[in-house]
Structure 1
C-alpha cells in the first residue's frame, strides 16, 4: 500500500538522521522531542494518523483531486533520497504542498 511505503520511507530517513553528523535536524532539539517524532513516524502510527486525516477521509476537497495529490506526493517522497526528504517534503513537489493545504483545510 502506498501509505505504508510512504510511512516506511519517512521512518527510515529519520533513523539515518539521528546517527548522522550531516543531519538536518536542529541541534537544539530536545531528546524528548526527538523521541516523540520517532514514535509518530513509526509506520503503524504514521498510517493510523493518515487514516484520520482530511485526505484519507476525502474531506474539504474534490475526492479525485485528493487522490491525485496524495498519489503524486507519496510517490515522489518514496522515490527521493533521504537527504532530500529530511530537508523537507514540501520542497519535493507541488503535490506535497497541495496535500498540506488539504490536510489543514477546515470547512
Structure 2
C-alpha cells in the first residue's frame, strides 16, 4: 500500500521540478557567451548553462559519494573479518577454559 503512495509522491515531486525547470528555461532564454580564462564557450542560453552546471555538480557529487561508499565498504569487510577471527579466538579460549576446569574437578 505504501509503495504506490511513495511512487505517487515521487511522481509529483519530479513533475514539480520538471515544471520549475521548464519555467526557468523559458524565463531565461537570453543567449550569452561564457568566457573562461583559457577557453571561450559557445553561445548558449543562461538556462542551458545553469542546467549543465547542475548536471556536472550532480555527477561530481555521485562520484565523490561513490568513492566514500567504496572506502567504507572496504573498512566494513576488514572489520567483519577481524570480528570473525576474534570470535573464533574467544571460542577457543572458552573451550580451553572448560577443559581445564573439567580436568581440575577430576
TM-score (norm 1): 0.28
Larger RCO of the pair (alpha carbons < 8 Å, separation 6+)? 1
Which of the two has greater helix per residue?
2
TM-score (norm 2): 0.28
Larger C-alpha radius of gyration, 1 or 2?
2
